[in-house]
Structure 1
Amino acid sequence: MTLMKKQVVKNSLGIILGAFIYAVAINDFLIPHQIGEGGVTGLTALGYYALAIPPALTNFVLNGILIIIGIRFLDKITIGYSVWAVFWISIFLKLPRLIHYHTTQTLIPTIIGGVLMGIAMAIIIDCQGTIAGSTILAKIVNRYLGIPTGSAMLFFDLIVAIPSGFIIGFQNMLLTIIELYLSAVILNQLLARFGAKRAVTIISEQYAQIAATLSKEYHQGITVIEAKGYYSQNQRPMLYVICTAKQLATIVPTISQIDAQALVVVDEVRSVQAEQLQRLL
């Protein structure tokens, strides 16, 4: 199996998992407690509360319309995976409830639902898809304006969530806003993990030995930056290393063993190849 085919299989299975978690959040936590949602999902819930329209039907029809709109602005791969996601979400929404949980403490299902929605959307988006609806609009805004996907989704979702108070009541409308905020925060945090690396700047008189050791033992790429101390006016090259958090845990002790007086500066950065730059937004 080629690398491309493996990636397609991985993304397809990941989207199915995300769709399942998404449907569980709606069927088992939000709808049973009359907590709304935003975007198409919010309209789906309102259609169920007010007119008893099956959520799967509303989800499929409205998302289909928005996918057609997305074709103009998003790449074919994203649209293809989005269709796949909408298909499986519609399937899972038709399944019976898996978790027969009900409580009068509606803040509990609000929090659980928001967390699950954020996780589900992060999985689907990380697999290059969307859940259509407001996610399509958010991806368009993200691509052209650079606004984080979760934040853009929250904006579009609130447009539906706030008026929903007339149907689900003021209290449930407030719970809906809390749930949307939680899912947006979690989505942004999880997506921010893509390309997360550590940038290590090393200033040491033993820079040559440190560079040689890191290169030999860890096969780590190292950049030597020519620098000069302002006070001493001495030339002292700096080492610049991009690594993962796991690699950092072994690199720092190695530096300390070679030169205990070395100055080591660690920054959190996000680093990918140029072809994946769009995913850093």
Structure 2
Amino acid sequence: MDSIQLKTRQMVQNGLQIVIGAFIYAIAINDFLIPHQIGEGGVTGLTTIGYYALHIPPAYTNFVLNGILMLVGFRYLEKHTVWYSLWAVLWISIFLKLPPLLNYHTNQTLIPAIAGGVLMGIAMEIIFRGEGTIAGSTILAKIVNRYFGMQNGSAMLMFDLLVAIPSGLIIGFQNMILTVIELYVSAVVLNGLLSRFGARKAVTIISAQTDEVTAELSAVLHQGITLIKAKGYYHQEKRPMIYVICTDKQVAQIVPLVSSVDPEALVVVDNVHSVKGEALGKLL
């Protein structure tokens, strides 16, 4: 498969992911937030305020305000991120025009706040993984993430609160508190899911039978294995350490394999979040 086909395949995959994320995002708004008078942050918060106060359809407000913020994105973000974001905004606006699908109503107001926050976090993670954003505060969060290193979810929470807290004048103090809870839940879910993007295990092995262990690992894993020069302080003995980046499933193979070759081997397993430098922007 040549590079053009790979690029086309990746674009289609990203586009489909963004559509799925937009659908989940719209469900969170139409079925959990609006029916229970819970606000939101950023542009989405302004759309709900416009709906509550002026009865402006959220789909129209979402499209217009996000279109303005896209112009800011063109200046500070990578162009493909902005185009994917336009795609996300388009589908969110389309799905927001659909009637509620779940028709869920409850007097337990904390339930829709938490459920809406979880769905928001999942939806944004799917869209981010598709290399897009939902525009609004996520555009601003991406800019802050890119230039200052703040986590996407935390930056979004900061900007969203600037809209959510004043919204209490329209939706009331209780619903404003529920909105803050929903925003916090969505930020926690988003940060948690993004931190697992590209997550791997790092396995360090110290063995007196380095060559034998390395040969067995290479035969089973069929991937790169690194040998690091090391020297023990107590015995002043030089011995290479084996270093492997692998998946959880491979760890389950590595540990018993190493033990079968050298029962005295020391095996240390650590969590790592990124195995490629370019993935860092999606993790933070």
Q: Sort the TM-score into its range (normalised by shorter chain).
A: over 0.9
Residue equivalent to 1:202: 205
Aligned partners of 1:179 and 1:274: how far apart in 2? 32
Out of 156, 161, 164, the residue aligned to residue 159 of structure 2 is 156
Out of 207, 229, 242, the residue aligned to residue 239 of structure 1 is 242
Residue equivalent to 1:230: 233
Say whether 1:68 aligns with 2:71: yes
Aligned partners of 2:176 and 2:279: how far apart in 1? 38
Aligned partners of 1:84 and 1:215: how far apart in 2? 43
Out of 132, 135, 141, the residue aligned to residue 138 of structure 2 is 135
Give 1:240's aligned amino acid.
Y
Deviation string, structure 1 residues 234-266 (Cα, Å, up to 9, x no partner): 112111111111211111111111112111111
* Superposition deviation, residue 280 in structure 1: 3.6
Aligned partners of 2:27 and 2:274: how far apart in 1? 34
TM score, norm. by length of structure 2: 0.97
Say whether 1:272 aligns with 2:248: no
Say whether 1:214 aligns with 2:228: no
Q: How high is the sequence identity, in percent, across the aligned residues?
A: 70
Contact 2:196 2:283 in 1 (8 A): no
Q: What are the equivalent positions in structure 2 for 1:40-51 lying under 5 Å apart?
A: 40-51=43-54
For structure 1, list consecutive stretches of 5 or more residues without a partner in the other structure.
Answer: none
Aligned partners of 1:129 and 1:229: how far apart in 2? 48
Aligned partners of 1:75 and 1:181: how far apart in 2? 27
Residue equivalent to 1:14: 17
* Superposition deviation, residue 277 in structure 1: 4.2
Residue equivalent to 1:104: 107
SS in 1 for 2:103: coil
Aligned partners of 2:215 and 2:141: how far apart in 1? 46
Residue equivalent to 2:90: 87
Residue equivalent to 2:129: 126
Q: What are the equivalent positions in structure 2 for 1:158-197 lying under 5 Å apart?
A: 158-197=161-200
For structure 2, list consecutive stretches of 5 or more residues without a partner in the other structure.
Answer: none
Aligned partners of 1:93 and 1:239: how far apart in 2? 53
* Superposition deviation, residue 218 in structure 1: 1.4
Pairs aligned (count): 281
TM score, norm. by length of structure 1: 0.98
Contact 2:128 2:282 in 1 (8 A): no
* Superposition deviation, residue 273 in structure 1: 3.2
Aligned partners of 1:230 and 1:274: how far apart in 2? 33
Deviation string, structure 1 residues 45-101 (Cα, Å, up to 9, x no partner): 000001101000100000000001110001110000000000000000000110111
SS in 2 for 1:171: helix
* Superposition deviation, residue 274 in structure 1: 4.0
Deviation string, structure 1 residues 124-180 (Cα, Å, up to 9, x no partner): 011000000000000000000111100000000000001111111111111100100
